Amino acid sequence: MFTGLITDVGEVIAKSQGGFTLKTAYKLKPQEVGLSICCDGVCLTATTITPLADGAEFTVDVSNETMAKTTLDQWKPGRRVNLERSLRAGDELGGHIVSGHVDGIAKIISITDDGESKRFLLEAPEHLSRYIAPKGSIALDGTSLTVNEVAEVRFGVNLIPHSLTVTTWGAKNPGDLVNLEVDVFARYVARLMEFRP
Q: Are 100 and 39 in contact (CB under 8 A)?
A: no
More confident residue, 87 or 54: 54
Domains in the chain: ranges and CATH: 8-85 (2.40.30.20), 104-194 (2.40.30.20)
More confident residue, 188 or 12: 12
Give the pLDDT of residue 170: 97
The whole-model pTM stands at 0.92
Report the pLDDT averaged over residues 152-160.
97
pLDDT class of 116 with cuts at 50, 70, 90: very high
Give the pLDDT of residue 87: 78
Query: Over the chain, what is the mean pLDDT?
Result: 93
More confident residue, 93 or 85: 85
Give the pLDDT of residue 192: 65
Report the pLDDT averaged over residues 150-154.
97
Report the pLDDT averaged over residues 108-125.
97
Percent of the chain with pLDDT over 90: 85
Single-letter code of the amino acid located at 119: R
Whether 117 shows a pLDDT value over 70: the answer reads yes
